[in-house]
Amino acid sequence: MSVIDPPVFDCDNHYYEAADAFTRHVPRDMQARCVQWCEIEGRKYHLVGGRLARAVSNPTWNPIARPGALYEYFRGNPHGHSPLEMLRQREPLPDCYQDRDARLRVMDEQGLEAIWLFPTLGVLYEELLKYDLEAVQSLFRAFNRWLEEDWGFAYRGRIFAAPYLSLCAVDFACEQLDWALSRGARVVVMRPAAAWTADGPCSPANERFDPFWARVHEAGVSVVIHAGDSGYTTHGYTHDGFSASFGASYAPSVKGFLIERAAYDFLITLWPCPGFVDTLLTL
């Protein structure tokens, strides 16, 4: 492909999590409350908090749908092909989806100067654990350590991987932010949802979180509110729960709009708060 001039800074790149991304650094006595692997009828799945997670049909990512598999679908699907059939055009998992040096080579081929790099499954699992705050903290403290080891937070000044932060407890959020900043993080990510705390759900703009947002403002780090599992109900119009799969006919559904609405709600909540407009982005 031709190289784009000038180089592009891609603000919505993703990785596919390594097999041990959610387990490598989780203490042994917490693993059953966080994420484990299981096998059902020959397929591997994640157990999250002891419950089967079906957010994706193949969390090993191998094989994976080919890049551009849905190109025609999102351009009107002129041939009327099923999106499920399109996604069945798979290939072995390329190295660049999980290896930072391989990703740099692909970035050079594509004319990308730098990227922000976000989770794929990582934005889905806080919802499944939100009633176990100790598990949330254990899992994402471990997940961020994996991320720093495998990708780094500012690798070669070109790959800016975003640690995942949770407001489930303000001390934990500040701890993880300080830890990430000390290791060069330029961007952090969280899900668009009310913070689930020991006192129940709470607005992210609640004054209890002032120490966290003050650190964000002082550091000038970007906080990305990335679409994920925000726990929104469909009020009976369709099945609740997050799923990346397409239905048999993929008819219009309110569910398709909830993932966007969660980000709007989050930003509207924070809008009156000084300094947030310059800090927050949504993807």
For residue 243, what pLDDT band results from cuts at 50, 70 and 90? low
Residues linked to residue 160 through DSSP beta bridges, in sequence order: 116
Residue 244 inside a domain? The answer is yes
Question: What CATH number is attached to the domain comprising 30?
Answer: 3.20.20.140
For residue 244, what pLDDT band results from cuts at 50, 70 and 90? very low
Domain limits for position 145: 8-61+98-282
Residue 85 inside a domain? The answer is no
Residue 125 inside a domain? The answer is yes
Residue 210 inside a domain? The answer is yes
Determine how many CB atoms are found less than 10 A away from the CB of residue 2: 5
**What separation in angstroms does the CA of 76 have from each of 17, 28, 86, 155, 193?**
31, 49, 14, 38, 32
- Would you say residue 41 has pLDDT above 80? yes
Q: How far is CA 68 from the centre of its chain?
A: 20
Give per-residue pLDDT as tens, 210-238. 999 999 999 999 999 999 999 998 888 88
Residue 208 inside a domain? The answer is yes
The string of DSSP codes covering 163-185 is -B---SSHHHHHHHHHHHHHTT-
Tokens 């092909």 belong to 81
Task: Reply yes or no: is the peptide bond before residue 272 cis, omega within 30 of 0.
Answer: no
Determine how many CB atoms are found less than 10 A away from the CB of residue 82: 14
For residue 150, what pLDDT band results from cuts at 50, 70 and 90? very high
Residue 76 inside a domain? The answer is no
- Would you say residue 145 has pLDDT above 80? yes
How many helices (H) and strands (E) the chain has is answered by: 7, 13
Residue 84 inside a domain? The answer is no
Determine how many CB atoms are found less than 10 A away from the CB of residue 268: 10
How many domains does the chain divide into?
1
54 in Cβ contact with 47 (< 8 Å): no
Torsion on CA atoms 160, 166, 169, 175, rounded to nearest 10: -10
The one-character DSSP state at 94 is P
Residue 81 inside a domain? The answer is no
- Give the chain's mean pLDDT: 91
How much is the pLDDT for 166? 98
Give percent of the chain above pLDDT 70. 90
How much is the pLDDT for 251? 61
Prediction pTM value: 0.91
Q: Which residues contact 98 (CB under 8 A, 6 or more apart)?
A: 15, 16, 17, 18, 61, 150
How much is the pLDDT for 274? 53
